[in-house]
Amino acid sequence: MTVITHARPSLEADYNTLSTSDQDRFDQLMERADTAGPHDYQPLMDTLAVLTGLNARDIARCSCWTDAFGCGCGAIFDTALPGAVVTATNSPNCNLSQLQCPTCGHDHPRPITD
């Protein structure tokens, strides 16, 4: 008897598990998405989704990756995941806000403060 299983779409990936060339490609695509116009943004996000294997329309890397007070988390995730924490809004003329993944947002949140 053959059992057919259906893989569930992934909502998170790990930057650290990407090859060096895929990390470089991810970084380049994120930089381009940050300043992309309205017609270019979604195709860049779609390319990032394919690269990382995520089922997402908007993708972020955990801000703990580069934040001086972060844990170095390499999570790449769907920005719509419950529990994601905004740590900095997007700069003028940029599209991407900084977000913590839901795990970091739960374990050591650094939300925007007034």
The pLDDT tens digits for 30-75 are 999 999 999 999 999 999 999 999 999 999 999 998 876 779 999 9
3-state secondary structure of 48: helix
Q: Are 102 and 63 in contact (CB under 8 A)?
A: no
Least-confidence region, from 3-7, 47-51, 76-80, 86-90: 3-7
Inter-residue contact 54 to 12 (CB < 8 Å): yes
In sequence order, which ranges of the chain are alpha helices (DSSP H)?
20-35, 38-52, 102-107
pTM: 0.86
Mean pLDDT for the stretch of residues 16-42 = 96
| pLDDT value for 114 | 53
- What is the model's pLDDT at position 46? 97
